[in-house]
Amino acid sequence: MVLESEIKYKAPFKEIKKEKDVIKLLNDVGKDLHMVGLRASEASLKEFLRIIEKGKYEKSSEGIKQVVDLSDAKFLVNQYRRGSEGGCQSCKKYGHYMPFQDEHVFYCGLDENPEKVDFGKSQKIKKFYETGCEDKKPVFTKTIEEIISSE
pLDDT in tens, 17-57: 999 999 999 999 999 999 888 776 678 999 999 999 999 99
* Reduced 3-state DSSP string for 12-27: CCCCCCCCHHHHHHHH
Neighbours of 46 (CB within 10 A): 12
* DSSP state letters, the chain: --EEEEEE---SSSS--STHHHHHHHHHHHHHHHHTT--GGG-SHHHHHHHHHHTEEEEEETTEEEEEE-HHHHHHHHHHHHHHTSSGGGBTTEEEEEEETTEEEEEETTT--GGG--SEE-HHHHHHTTT--TT--BSSSS-HHHHHHT-
Looking at the fold, whether 30 and 75 belong to one and the same domain comes out as yes
Looking at the fold, whether 92 and 78 belong to one and the same domain comes out as no
pLDDT at 41: 66
Residue 9 in contact with residue 69, Cβ under 8 Å? Answer: yes
Domain that holds residue 66: 3-82+144-149
The answer to the question of residue 136 being in a domain is no
Q: How far is CA 16 from CA 28, 64, 77, 81, 122, in A?
A: 14, 34, 8, 10, 28
Looking at the fold, whether 14 and 65 belong to one and the same domain comes out as yes
Looking at the fold, whether 10 and 70 belong to one and the same domain comes out as yes
pTM of the model: 0.81
Total domains in the chain come to 2
User: Tell me: the pLDDT tens digits for 65-114?
Assistant: 899 999 999 999 999 998 898 888 888 888 887 777 777 888 888 888 77
